């Protein structure tokens, strides 16, 4: 995630340096960050559905080991075909 952020900053700065201010460079950087963030949005607690990367209103680059809403252990591996 930090690498994509750095790449987005370099992209915007280099386009600004060589071609002048461009809204397309900002749009490309935003799209890159959204695509890089997509896998983080799918890592939810299996019991209550709360995202493991959110700490209140803040998002951090490492997930919780314990769900802050229901207390489930998110560090445990859950088999895909369990409970059927």
Q: Give pLDDT tens digits for 2-53.
A: 888 899 999 999 999 999 988 999 999 999 999 988 888 888 888 898 998 8
Spatial CB neighbours of 4, under 8 Å, sequence gap ≥ 6: 32, 33, 36
Structure token digits, residue 7: 């790449």
Instruction: Copy the structure tokens of residue 8.
Output: 């987005």
Helices (H) and strands (E) in the chain, counts: 2, 2
Predicted local confidence at residue 13, as pLDDT: 94
pTM check: above 0.75: no
Query: DSSP string covering 49-82, please?
Result: --BTTEETTEE-SS--SB-TTT--BTTS---TTT
Structure tokens at 28: 């490309």
Let me know: does 48 contact 67? Beta carbons within 8 Å. Answer: yes
């Amino acid at each position: 995630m930090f690498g994509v952020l750095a790449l987005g900053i370099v992209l915007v700065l280099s386009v600004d340096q060589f071609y002048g201010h461009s809204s397309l460079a900002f749009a490309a950087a935003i799209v890159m960050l959204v695509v890089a963030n997509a896998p983080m949005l799918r890592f939810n607690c299996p019991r209550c559905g709360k995202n493991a990367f959110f700490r209140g209103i803040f998002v951090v680059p490492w997930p919780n080991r314990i769900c802050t809403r229901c207390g489930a252990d998110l560090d445990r591996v859950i088999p895909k075909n369990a409970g059927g």
